[in-house]
Amino acid sequence: MPTGGVVMKKWFQSFLAVTLFSASLLSGCSQEESSKTADGRTEIVLSGWGGNPTETKLLQQTIRDFEKKNPDIKVKHDVIADQYMDVLKTRLIGGTAADVFYLDAFEAPGLMEAGVLEPLDKYVKEDFDMEDFEKPLLQAFQHNGKTYGFPKDYSTLALFYNKEMLEEAGVEVPKTWNELQEAAKKLTKDGVYGFGVMPELARLYFLAESKGGQVMTNNKASFASKEVSEGLQSILDMRLNDKSAAQPNEVGADSGIEMFGQGKAAMVLEGNWAIPYLADTFPDISYGTAEVPTIGKKNTMAFTVAYVMNKESKHKEAAWRLIEYLTGKEGMKTWTSKGYALPTRKSVAKELGFADDPLRGALVAGASYATVWQDGPYLPIAQTNFNNQFLSAFLGQQPLREALKKAQKQANKEILINE
Amino acid sequence: MKKERKKYTLYEIGQGYTFMLPAIFVLAVFIIAPILYAIFLSFHKVELLGGPSYDFRGLDNFVKLMEDDRAKIALWNTIKYVVIVVPAQTLLALVLAATLNAGLKGEKFFRIVYFLPTLTSSAVLTLIFMWMYNQNGLINKLLGMIGLPGYNWLGDPNVALPAIMIMNIWSTAPFFMTIYLAALQDIPDSVYEAAKIDGANFWQKFWYVTVPQLKPVTSFVVIMGLIGTFQLFDQSYIFSKGTGGPNNSTLTVVLLIYQYAFKNLGTMGYAAAMALVLAIVILIATLLQRKFSKEETLH
């Protein structure tokens, strides 16, 4: 028979053992990042979404060049395969986000306001040459006079047209939006639509604002105005009256460019990403690109992504050196050399000569007048509601103005929850 | 008995709790604490990004929830989904189980075949169905072969939710079928013999013997079905690429909670409030179901 004291002791010991065991199980989940590698180099993590194999190779090449020039730094490239922003936000909250990561201009205002990004102005040296960046693209990552990121590349939208179909129908490449509507009518036949549309705000934003309307005003949705619906009306006319436009899933495609590649649409508005995609997936298609047909004046969308620094980074100096290299003249030249992405630096663009490229020329030309896909921290909310309601108007289930009013009301309610 | 109870010594209590400790620890960390935290969050405006900030708002989140049109749409979609899927999958499960229990040839083979959909991951299943639902996909081709018009299953707001319903009934019914099958084999033959002697035909035996005997199992199947369907998320998430589209037609309550929690930046508290309301709705639905099934047993 053990005495009381011994029993208590044993009980305590087993209690301790079990607790420690459970705790050690749990701590196995949390990772303690070692900041130095075995050979004493500083390790920094770079997060981004995945690209196609060629893009990945180009990025790895750029990183290797950087490591050669900075032997004291090792870059760990981490790919977030899906739901990039959700994963990134979760990691930022949990304090496990990378030192340097990609950020889309569209999502940038939210993160810049939340104060999780490191302002980069104090690191910038004279020879980095900030003036060299296309101004609207750099401005997308500036907030209250501070710069939080440097755009790594961009794309605008251009008109992609199927040369054979246009020739067959005897249609010239449209220069104005009215010409586009007429061309779409003539090109629509035998299950082919003249114009393939993605009924999404990201693609239609410049059209929505083309008649003087505003999608967002003072961080509130304001797209239910007469001007915005006038701007968008032509898309509905094509879909519902002329029957000359369709969205990809109406012909069993997943994206506008797949629809174009399959020969189900004669014209689409797409970006630089479409060029390598078509070369890989639909190499036989004969197509050309042109600047987006004008509505009064020239306009298009620009999408851009920057490298930004985590405010919680433990190696800010090293992280800056990486950003400096990747968005610098040399790194950007390697990264954009194959034309998978367009350079945001004027000097690099000039050197690589994409302005004279028969396919990319139209995309590059758009950069000077494009509207950057960004409009304050609540554009993502406005976008979700716009897309939902616009789709039903696009399908003819409700009048456009009514759809936009509903979307605006709901978007503003959601914005209010955020405030 | 009372005397015995007093006999528990500190030693025994300690021993008991020590044995339970790992379980208690896991429950506390992964279930109880998150529930309490969610309740705490639901009364606050929470900004997790950039150093967590909690701003007490009282019932503000719940008041806003009442006026949220998308929340109403999500609840309505979810209710439509529950009302159609739960009875359909329960009935289908019962019928499948009854046919498997009827002593036909190849019973084992069919048991495996029927059960396969349940073994498949729902994400994989959804992706396969999305191919079949494609405008040029298998289902539209089959409909065309028998002279019916095809649908834009993925893009038309009127058919997107039914498309998910069909998929889910097909994939979850077999799971409940196995539960029914086990219960069916527990019904004593003597009851059927007595019914036979009374002159009952096949349908009468099924309706007056099998179905009442299965009542407790049916109750379980319906409750599990209710809970499962109210929490519909992955299928509509994959179907709509996380948007709940086309035109909010596949937006479910859990998907909306996810959007508020992770897509928007400052609405974690609001999402928690919505989750709490969903929990209450499921609780009420379950209690109603239990009340009705109890009333029937009294007859």
Instruction: Look up the CATH number of the domain holding residue A381.
Output: 3.40.190.10
Are residues B180 and B202 located together in one domain of the fold?
A: yes
Are residues A239 and A320 located together in one domain of the fold?
A: no
Is B49 an interface residue toward A (CB < 8 Å)?
Answer: yes
Contacts of A381 in chain B (CB under 8 A): 264
Whether ipTM tops 0.90, in short, is no
Segment B144-157 shows an average pLDDT of 86
Segment A214-220 shows an average pLDDT of 93
pLDDT at B267: 86
Contact (CB<8Å) B270/A417 = yes
Which letter does DSSP use for residue A242 in this model?
A: S
Residue to mutate among A414, A415, A419, with most B CBs inside 10 A, is A414
Are residues A396 and A273 located together in one domain of the fold?
A: yes
Are residues B77 and B39 located together in one domain of the fold?
A: no
Give the end of a domain, one of B17, B34, B61. B61
Is residue A32 in a domain? Answer: no
Give the number of domains in chain B.
Answer: 2
Are residues B176 and B47 located together in one domain of the fold?
A: no
Are residues A287 and A233 located together in one domain of the fold?
A: yes
Contact (CB<8Å) A90/B64 = no
Of A165, A397, A104, the residue nearest B155 (C-alpha): A397
Residues contacting A321, CB < 8 A, separation 6+: A66, A70, A73
Is A237 an interface residue toward B (CB < 8 Å)?
Answer: no
Distance CA B172, CA B167 (A): 9
Are residues B43 and B145 located together in one domain of the fold?
A: no
Q: How far apart are the first and last CA of chain A?
A: 67
Which residue type, as a one-letter code, is found at position B111?
R
Is B259 an interface residue toward A (CB < 8 Å)?
Answer: yes
**Residue of chain A with shortest Cα separation from B264:** A381
Are residues A219 and A334 located together in one domain of the fold?
A: no
**Residue of chain A with shortest Cα separation from B133:** A252
Is B244 an interface residue toward A (CB < 8 Å)?
Answer: yes
Is residue A26 in a domain? Answer: no
Residue to mutate among A80, A381, A386, A391, with most B CBs inside 10 A, is A391
Are residues B19 and B119 located together in one domain of the fold?
A: no
Locus of tokens 């399908």: A395
Contact (CB<8Å) A115/B136 = no
Q: How far apart are the first and last CA of chain B?
A: 37
Distance CA B159, CA B147 (A): 19
Are residues A130 and A243 located together in one domain of the fold?
A: no
Are residues B80 and B36 located together in one domain of the fold?
A: no
Is residue A126 in a domain? Answer: yes
Domain residue limits at A263: 157-301+376-418
Segment A365-383 shows an average pLDDT of 91
Are residues B136 and B205 located together in one domain of the fold?
A: yes
> Which residues share a beta bridge with A158?
A270
Q: Residue B3: is it exposed, middle or buried by C-beta count within 10 angstroms (0-12/13-18/19+)?
A: exposed
pLDDT at residue B249 above 50?
yes
Are residues B106 and B205 located together in one domain of the fold?
A: yes
Distance CA A358, CA A340 (A): 15
Are residues A220 and A345 located together in one domain of the fold?
A: no
Q: Are A305 and A192 spatial neighbours (Cβ–Cβ below 8 Å)?
A: no
Give the end of a domain, one of B18, B41, B61. B61
Are residues B113 and B209 located together in one domain of the fold?
A: yes
| Closest CA–CA distance from residue A86 to any residue of chain B (Å) | 6
Give the end of a domain, one of A352, A372, A392. A372
pLDDT at residue B1 above 50?
no
> Regarding beta strands A301-309 and A371-372, do their DSSP bridges make them parallel or antiparallel, or are they unpaired?
parallel
Is residue A27 in a domain? Answer: no
Segment A77-98 shows an average pLDDT of 90
pLDDT at B210: 87
Are residues B13 and B111 located together in one domain of the fold?
A: no
Looking at every residue in chain A, the average pLDDT score rounds to: 88
> Regarding beta strands A100-104 and A42-49, do their DSSP bridges make them parallel or antiparallel, or are they unpaired?
parallel
For A229-250, what is each residue's pLDDT tens digit? 999 999 999 999 999 999 998 8
| Closest CA–CA distance from residue B49 to any residue of chain A (Å) | 5
Contact (CB<8Å) B69/A413 = yes
Are residues A409 and A276 located together in one domain of the fold?
A: yes
Is residue A117 in a domain? Answer: yes
pLDDT at A19: 59
Contact (CB<8Å) B262/A89 = yes
For B38-58, what is each residue's pLDDT tens digit? 999 999 988 888 778 888 888
Give the end of a domain, one of A353, A372, A391. A372
Are residues A64 and A49 located together in one domain of the fold?
A: yes
Are residues B18 and B80 located together in one domain of the fold?
A: no
Buried b / exposed e along A361-374 (16+ C-beta atoms within 10 A): bbbbbbbebbbbbb
Distance CA A348, CA A334 (A): 10
Are residues B10 and B75 located together in one domain of the fold?
A: no
pLDDT at residue A165 above 90?
yes
Give the 3-state DSSP-derived string for chain B, with helices as H, strands as E and coil as C. CHHHHHCCCHHHHHHHHHHHHHHHHHHHHHHHHHHHHHHHHHCEEEECCCCCEEEECCCHHHHHHHCCHHHHHHHHHHHHHHHHHHHHHHHHHHHHHHHHCCCCCCHHHHHHHHHHHHHCCHHHHHHHHHHHHCCCCHHHHHHHHCCCCCCCCCCCCCCHHHHHHHHHHHHHHHHHHHHHHHHHHHCCHHHHHHHHHCCCCHHHHHHHHHHHHCHHHHHHHHHHHHHHHHCCCHHHHHHCCCCCCCCCCCCCHHHHHHHHHHHCCCCHHHHHHHHHHHHHHHHHHHHHHHHHHHHHHHC
Dihedral of CA A149/A52/A270/A381: which sign? Answer: negative
Contacts of B135 in chain A (CB under 8 A): 249-252
Contacts of B25 in chain A (CB under 8 A): 18-19, 22
Is residue A316 in a domain? Answer: yes
SS3 label, residue A367: coil
Give the number of domains in chain A.
Answer: 2
Which residue type, as a one-letter code, is found at position B16?
G
Distance CA B233, CA B253 (A): 8
Are residues A165 and A150 located together in one domain of the fold?
A: no
pLDDT at B282: 87
Element (H, E) at A68: helix A53-69
Give the end of a domain, one of B19, B34, B61. B61
Is A51 an interface residue toward B (CB < 8 Å)?
Answer: no
Q: Are A132 and A345 spatial neighbours (Cβ–Cβ below 8 Å)?
A: yes
Segment B182-211 shows an average pLDDT of 88
Which residue type, as a one-letter code, is found at position B150?
G
Domain residue limits at B259: 67-298
Assign residue B215 the CATH number of its domain. 1.10.3720.10
SS3 label, residue A104: strand
Q: In angstroms, what CA-CA distances link A225 with A217, A222, A405, B110?
A: 11, 7, 8, 60
pLDDT at residue A181 above 60?
yes
Are residues A397 and A253 located together in one domain of the fold?
A: yes
Are residues A232 and A334 located together in one domain of the fold?
A: no
Q: Residue A141: is it exposed, middle or buried by C-beta count within 10 angstroms (0-12/13-18/19+)?
A: buried
For A4-38, what is each residue's pLDDT tens digit? 445 555 655 665 565 555 555 555 444 444 466 66
Are residues A96 and A57 located together in one domain of the fold?
A: yes
